[in-house]
């Protein structure tokens, strides 16, 4: 792989106190992102040339879940580094969602489920885990 930093977008879709997570298939192929099969992840993916952050977030969510999102905000950004790849992952929160989540890319996810923020699955995809952890820290500090 070339020594190029790439941009990824992770999207936290909020519905009340729940967020949407997809289960990454156990035998999934390495598509060039951070490779962690059999984990739970937020929707998202690689930003394309000439595409804004919010356009990428909406496109990736639609491609993966068939949901339409809006009322988006950038939450933050973080480095996601593995031995042979480096991503800057931009964290986007979508506060509005329309539709029912469907598995659209069966070679990547085998299900989508809504989880309460205090009852998340154990095996979280590391970029999603960083995002959720930072979000919960910020949310907890605001509620003090």
User: What residue ranges do the domains of the chain occupy?
Assistant: 6-137
- Considering the four listed CATH numbers 1.10.1060.10, 3.90.79.10, 3.60.15.10, 3.30.390.50, the one that applies to the domain covering 6-137 is 3.90.79.10
pLDDT tens, 7-39? 999 999 999 999 999 999 988 767 666 678 899
| pLDDT level of residue 142 (50, 70, 90 thresholds) | low
Contact 89, 131 (CB under 8 A): yes
Contact 115, 19 (CB under 8 A): yes
**Plot region of 16 (φ>0 → left; ψ -120 to 50 → alpha; else → beta):** left
Contact 105, 65 (CB under 8 A): no
Local structure of 76: helix, strand or coil: strand
pLDDT tens, 50-62? 999 999 999 999 9
Residue labelled with tokens 């997570």 = 21
């Amino acid at each position: 792989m070339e020594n190029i930093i790439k941009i990824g977008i992770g999207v936290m879709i909020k519905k009340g106190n729940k967020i949407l997570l997809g289960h990454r298939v156990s035998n999934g192929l390495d598509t060039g992102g951070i490779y962690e099969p059999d984990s739970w992840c937020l929707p998202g993916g690689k930003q394309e040339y000439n595409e804004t952050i919010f356009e990428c977030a909406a496109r990736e969510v639609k491609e993966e879940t068939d949901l339409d999102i809006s009322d988006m905000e950038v939450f933050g950004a973080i480095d996601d580094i593995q031995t042979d790849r480096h991503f800057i992952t931009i964290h986007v929160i979508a506060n509005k969602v329309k539709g029912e989540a469907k598995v659209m890319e069966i070679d990547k996810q085998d299900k989508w489920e809504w989880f309460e923020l205090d009852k998340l699955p154990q095996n979280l995809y590391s970029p999603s885990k960083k995002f959720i952890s930072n979000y919960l820290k910020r949310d907890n500090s605001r509620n003090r």
